[in-house]
Structure 1
Amino acid sequence: MSVTFTTRGALQKSVLRQANERLILNAVRNNPTISRSDLSRITGLSPSSISFIVNRLVRRGVLTEEKLEKYSQVGRR
């Protein structure tokens, strides 16, 4: 069985996609409250790649996102 150029290209894309997903999932596992910008900084992936991959993982139910309030109290007490 020979592998055509198209098949190799698709295979390489699939391997790269899986590697990038694992990279993100490992970073999230180590720091569950990590932001997308920190994911980009830590993994070396571009912000647009992070958004694309995280959105895909959220749609698949692998990740969930929560908005964290920067300040839990407003004003003086």
Structure 2
Amino acid sequence: MANYNKFDPRLESLVVETATHWSPELAKRISDEDKKWLAAELHRHPQLAADIHYERTHTGFIRHITVTEEDIERLYREKVGA
């Protein structure tokens, strides 16, 4: 049986919707503009997300990613190539 609480390439082919959640400590510190590109990048590369969950629906799965500070640090490092 699939583990819905970690990245799974098999489930990725069945994702029909995505949702982004923000950890409470980040929600107010990050601008809406930054939230937009951070969410897009994490959903473009879901294997990089530290907190991922798949919710089963009738037609496939919803991918839920909760953005953490570690995710942001990792994305910025990749973006600047450090």
The verdict on a shared fold, with TM-score over 0.5 as the criterion, is no
Q: TM-score, normalised by structure 2?
A: 0.25
Q: TM-score, normalised by structure 1?
A: 0.26
Q: Which has the higher strand share?
A: 2
Q: Which has the higher helix share?
A: 1
Larger gyration radius, structure 1 or structure 2:
1
